[in-house]
Structures are given as structure tokens and as C-alpha cells.
Amino acid sequence: MTKLIYLLWPRAQMAPARRREILLERCAPRLLQLGLAGLQMNIADDRADVPSPAPRLLGPKPFAAQVNLWLENPRQRLACETLLREAGFELAGYRVDEWLYTDYGENAHAPPRHWPDGTRSPGILAVTLLERPPRIPKDEWMRRWFGRQSPMSEWMQPRCRYVRNVVEEVLTPSAQVFDGIVEEAWPSAEHVTDKRVFFGARNGLELMLHMGIMLRSVTRMLHLTRITTVMMSEYFVKNPAGAGV
């Protein structure tokens, strides 16, 4: 089974609530009719009105939605792309290798997923685009991401789900090249906006210590000015494992 990720930008002005309506009510049923093995939609809608913990400086333009497709037949891809374009979106598509580090219920920050397919997940989702600095070889960059950043952030932060998508192939013409796309689910908006909560600190001194640890780890694998993080609502439309709850 192949996982594809599409980043979406509306061609014309589109209110956040309208994005949700078009994607979930119009596009999702038609995509499922194509026989997808799984479908997830992460949308920067009106229910995700939370500032990003990583303000954009020189990074890629923020996107309005992320559509994850799981396909058993690669030939389904073009029909999916056509459907999303006809709904009014420009696309950047990627074939990825998914590495689920932590799922709901696997730590103390959230129970196992209990909400049905098609409904909004509790809390808030942060989706971050990763660009590998050219000075760092790919194998060393992966070691820093998987071997240092992932376990360190899991130890420190109250995150309830963490998905690492390693980009294997760029699918659409003119799409910007990324090396990774990260999905991080948080229990509430406070877990992102309150620095002590976000960095898992009990007091001001521990906050400074944890911020320093995080900054050192992140700067060893990314350019801080090139990070783009978009806050989104998470919708599992069809469980890719075929086991909807």
C-alpha cells in the first residue's frame, strides 16, 4: 500500500469554514468512490484558530490543507489529483514512507482513538514541512531526526500523536522539494500556546533548559528561518487499516 500526501492551496479566496465544507462534504465522498484504502484530511479551518509555535520567516508558503491518500492501485493517483484540482485547489504531491512514532493511547497525553471516521479529532494538529540543509548528508540528517530529535521531543513534550513522513518522490510538476512532512497532534490549544506546557516545563528554570535542548537539536537538522508549521484540524475520513471505530 502506498501513501501519498498532497498539500493544497486555494486558487481563489476561500474562507476556512468553506475549505472544510468543500473537502469533507464534496471531495471526500468522491475520493472514497475511487476505492481508496485510506483517506485523511488535515484542514486549516475555522476550528483550528491557534497560532503556530514556529512563526514563518523565509519558509514555504503556508498551505490550506493536507490530504493523505493510501492507495493499493497507483493508477488511482491521477483521478484523485483531477478531483482536487476541480474543487479549486493547486496541488503539491509527494510519495512518502510513513513512520508512526506515537499513536493515540500510546502515552499519557491522550486515550486511544475512540471517535468515528469522518469526525474531527480532539485537540489541534501541527503539520511541519522539513527541508534538509544541503550541508548535511541524507543519512546523517536521518540519524539526527530519527535518532535524536524524535526521542528527545517525545520525552519532553506533551504530544499525543507523532507521524514522520519521509518524502521519497515528488509527484506534481513545480512542487517544492521537501525531505519530510511531520504531523504532531496535541491535546488542546493550550498545549501549543503555553510555553511551559509546550516544552514540558514545571517552572521558569526548567523552561529555559528545555528550550535550549530543543533549539540545539532543531538547529542541528534544520534552518530555523525555513520552517513552516500550519495548525490544522485532523479528520480521519477512512481508517487506512480498514478498522474504523
Dmax over Cα atoms in the chain, in whole Å?
55
Please write the tens of the pLDDT for every residue from 99-150: 999 999 999 999 999 999 999 999 999 999 999 999 999 999 999 999 999 9
Look at residue 55 and tell me whether its pLDDT is greater than 70: no
Domain extent listing, the chain: 2-238
Q: What angle do CA 42, 45, 47 make, to 5 degrees?
A: 105
CATH fold for the domain made of 2-238: Alpha-Beta Plaits (3.30.70)
Query: What is the number of other CB atoms lying within 10 angstroms of the CB of residue 116?
Result: 10
CA distance 53 to 115: 26
End-to-end CA distance of the chain: 21
Burial label for 165, CB within 10 Å (0-12, 13-18, 19+), is: buried
Q: What is the pTM of this model?
A: 0.94
